[in-house]
Structure 1
């Protein structure tokens, strides 16, 4: 029987795991997780998601153990580690699911070639996306407009999720393995340990959350997804990013619910939700074909954009001290929980690049550092969309008004009140623009503008005009 090393890498689940299911069918399964120097450097810039990865590996280790398999943990160069495991186990094959970040694609190509050069069998699988990353338009080029990509995807079949491998044969001895905590993926005393209050990473929590959302939350998604305190968000993005749950499994289970109901609102909500999953694929297609999108604007005229923001303003944005309540609430929620509602992400991002004229790459890097659901493709595509410098992006002159956004999508101020406690005694409508509240109202709420809560660091109207003037300088170039 074949002995196959299954290399886990951001696919920390047993259900619909193509590499694992194929290996299980063909013989003995040798699960491996490798932490390299490259990973160490990369995740030093992504501390929140490193917390999620650590706990995802820990839960995977327990799951495999329950099925009679040991997860072997290695540190160092991936090729060397894989060869070491194969020699120790007398294995002759390596299976893994592909990743699409530029560094990971180069790594996969190198390791495949190295293993094949020494006579080892190597097979990779598409387990991370709904559709093949080779999906091209009629001209044989990658799609540049999301609507066209979405319409094409709706004509394609999403592969059925692979069955859970019920019987798996493993090898318990003869392979050296580190303990997970020896990798020092996270610092036990670091800022992100507070995430324990809010999250339980891993496959079982992901599947449970998804099932509950299908039953209780999905029907409201279309109508309420932009309302910040509505509870219509699935909160599944960190699980998706780490591969705790299969997007193909989500797609088909949502489709099944849609087929079983006659309620138009449910059909509409499911279609809207699935469109978001397709957007994720679209983002990865951009990253695959334009790997520089994590650093450079796709619209080259933005290379000469006259950014004017200061380091002090950037720091106030990060800390939620801008004097714009919705922006501050979002940035504080991010720091506290590692997450932020999608509507608020757009508002905070727009504020950084358009109100403060700070380069979008600064926002990308901060989100990379603090988001539990950090995903290079989604993060880069989102920032370029908001900035107006990417493919199929929002026009630069679309500038979110944070006051109107909070009045519309957090009308009672519930979200602001939760994350900006110094404003907790202030009621709507004043909570959206606290400096406009009468002195008597502020005194009753125990608020001193400029003391207990800051004045806006920029005037909205002036900032908007400045942003449009800056855009005019690069518009025709």
Structure 2
């Protein structure tokens, strides 16, 4: 990417964002007005009143903007590449979002058409003029189509952009762009390990049908202040010396001594009127660098159109806007398509008031989804072949992306390869995702879900499909229809069926409250006085609290990158309720250590755990309870130092007699820590 191209992309991105930001809060998108109303109601605890009749399509439409004009992609009903009305929608049409009303969209289209030639003056080799002369809806089957794979759609089945490109008949290039600089809620930590394995398997699957995956790094070296190696994440340097799992279990023995970086600083939330400047700067760098790299790749393979699945994360949407702006300015068509969720957030018409539940809770949302039209269509089959281009664009080797690299100590020696150890628990592939889904739905897991889903000591009580959904090896439509098609009676599958709607609900919340990952939805909770005890936080992270259910859970999380849903609630409740530590610290740790870390779901859970979310928890889970592990098998697996204790004392070893402790080879305070909280009632 030339310096001139880079400057041009940055000018376009700044122009687009300044236009969107200039919208008056009084005349601009209704989302801001309705969001303010929702926050006011949440502050008082009162249910929201019904929106006025002249508010259009109700609260959800107001919160999420007008419905997308992009067609719904159904099995056997792909949008045509020949028809502008039925098939082609440029990004400014299908990206009608909460920050862009009609006047801004019109201005934005004008800027990117009238100013493109001047802003992109390094691309004047007749490409913009030729593109402008071409009918907007036509697609030359000889032209290359570029499919942009994302970190949430790494599959061939039920992949709308790929299916459309394959149907066009012309050359298809599949690409993934990895930004070295990413926002706070981008792919980090355990997710990098999963992503690395996913990209390798996706490339193999594409090669089997005559294609390949082009890998590129976003050109962060062009970003001001960027230096190679400065992108080292929390997972790399805070774990460089860590060895949280294994060892002899004795205090100070292999339990994270010598951490090179203390990432546990006191959290000071920003005021509601400000933005997270550090994260904004990172996302701005990510957006500009990815846009520049996508433009370079499109030029290299002479792509006439770029297709991708739409994201619903605020940071990712910002990246998409930058990419779309750069591609449009170069005269290329852009097509953004649904596929990450069952229902796009802005299409759900969730009215105000109490309708079997308060605004933004599951059952009103579920009913609103069901009312909006037909159920999600059947998933699309994978393409059987993809026409290759005459010449493949340049691609990095997978190692060139430096995903989850093995950390190196200060003396140059290799530290523990946490990522490789973590992946030993998983088969990261689209085939395994389908196999695991079929096994759960048809081999007893779904049948017993209603009664056994809280059990962490028995395999198969939950689906363990969340990482595959997070990275897109399994689409939500595939799981939705697998469960729907099960012959089991409704009462045996109703709870699990709602789990997919929980996922959509989380992104509905995120669309309504974009700062949800780091700031309370109930704004007055920002004034809550949290305990800034970094030592206590570190003991929680390491599984050294002295409460076996908490410690086993945290060690399982670190070792496998996954944790049973019930146990996530146990450790979250302990951190917030008993240690008094800000829920955002838990959200950050989960984001770093979960392979299924999903910004929407993770933020929603931690907001509710911190009592600041829409559906705040009205319960506290006791760390002394054995209800999730009645047999003791879970704690014995992850706390071998306690394995010889009888099950009755296993979850509360401080109640065991000195004789029992001695017989089990345990000295509290040496082999296993004393409790951090001696009296849970205080």
- Report the TM-score, using the length of structure 2 for normalisation: 0.64
CA separation of 1:298/1:41 partners in 2, compared to 1, >3 Å: closer, same or farther? closer
Which residue matches 2:516? 293
Q: Does 1:225 align with 2:446?
A: no
Larger Rg: 2
Matched residue count: 452
Q: Does 1:194 align with 2:421?
A: yes
Deviation at 1:118, TM superposition (A): 2.0
Q: Among residues 203, 223, 237, which one is paired with 1:61 in the alignment?
A: 203
Which residue matches 2:395? 177
RMSD: 1.9
Which residue matches 2:653? 434
**1:70-469 equivalences in 2 (<5 Å):** 70-76=212-218, 77-134=289-346, 135-138=348-351, 143-155=359-371, 156=373, 157-171=375-389, 173-188=391-406, 190-216=417-443, 217-231=445-459, 232-257=461-486, 261=487, 263-264=488-489, 267-395=490-618, 398-404=619-625, 406=626, 408-462=627-681, 465=682
Q: Deviations over 1:315-344 (max 9, x none)?
A: 110111101110000000011111111101
Q: Does 1:24 align with 2:166?
A: yes
Deviation at 1:437, TM superposition (A): 0.8
Q: Give yes or no for contact 1:98–1:125 (8 Å, CA) kept in 2.
A: yes
Which residue matches 1:50? 192
Take 2:632 and 2:532, find their aligned partners in 1: how far apart are those partners?
Answer: 28
Take 1:388 and 1:46, find their aligned partners in 2: how far apart are those partners?
Answer: 26
Q: What SS class does the counterpart of residue 376 from structure 2 fall into?
A: coil
Take 2:183 and 2:370, find their aligned partners in 1: how far apart are those partners?
Answer: 39
Take 2:182 and 2:580, find their aligned partners in 1: how far apart are those partners?
Answer: 32
Deviation at 1:79, TM superposition (A): 2.1
Take 1:172 and 1:222, find their aligned partners in 2: how far apart are those partners?
Answer: 54
CA separation of 1:80/1:104 partners in 2, compared to 1, >3 Å: closer, same or farther? same
CA separation of 1:34/1:143 partners in 2, compared to 1, >3 Å: closer, same or farther? farther
- Between Structure 1 and Structure 2, which shows a larger proportion of helix residues? 1
Q: Give yes or no for contact 2:292–2:326 (8 Å, CA) kept in 1.
A: no
Deviation at 1:230, TM superposition (A): 2.4
Q: What SS class does the counterpart of residue 83 from structure 1 fall into?
A: helix
Which residue matches 1:475? none
Q: Give yes or no for contact 1:54–1:185 (8 Å, CA) kept in 2.
A: yes
Deviation at 1:305, TM superposition (A): 1.0
Deviation at 1:418, TM superposition (A): 0.9
Deviation at 1:372, TM superposition (A): 0.6
Q: What SS class does the counterpart of residue 315 from structure 2 fall into?
A: helix
Q: Deviations over 1:5-33 (max 9, x none)?
A: 00000210000001111111113211011
Deviation at 1:347, TM superposition (A): 0.4
Deviation at 1:460, TM superposition (A): 4.0
Q: Deviations over 1:52-86 (max 9, x none)?
A: 01111111001000100021111122222222222
Gaps of 5+ in 1: 466-477
Which residue matches 1:472? none
Q: What SS class does the counterpart of residue 297 from structure 1 fall into?
A: coil
Take 2:295 and 2:531, find their aligned partners in 1: how far apart are those partners?
Answer: 51
Take 1:215 and 1:460, find their aligned partners in 2: how far apart are those partners?
Answer: 45
Q: What SS class does the counterpart of residue 515 from structure 2 fall into?
A: helix
**1:466-477 equivalences in 2 (<5 Å):** none
Deviation at 1:173, TM superposition (A): 2.3
Q: Among residues 179, 202, 214, which one is paired with 1:36 in the alignment?
A: 179
Q: What SS class does the counterpart of residue 317 from structure 1 fall into?
A: helix
- Report the TM-score, using the length of structure 1 for normalisation: 0.91
Q: Give yes or no for contact 2:351–2:359 (8 Å, CA) kept in 1.
A: no
Q: Give yes or no for contact 1:49–1:373 (8 Å, CA) kept in 2.
A: yes
Take 1:302 and 1:48, find their aligned partners in 2: how far apart are those partners?
Answer: 30
Q: What SS class does the counterpart of residue 511 from structure 2 fall into?
A: helix
Take 2:182 and 2:428, find their aligned partners in 1: how far apart are those partners?
Answer: 19
Which residue matches 1:3? 144
Q: Deviations over 1:135-177 (max 9, x none)?
A: 122359x952222102222344112212222232122624111
Gaps of 5+ in 2: 1-140, 219-288, 408-416
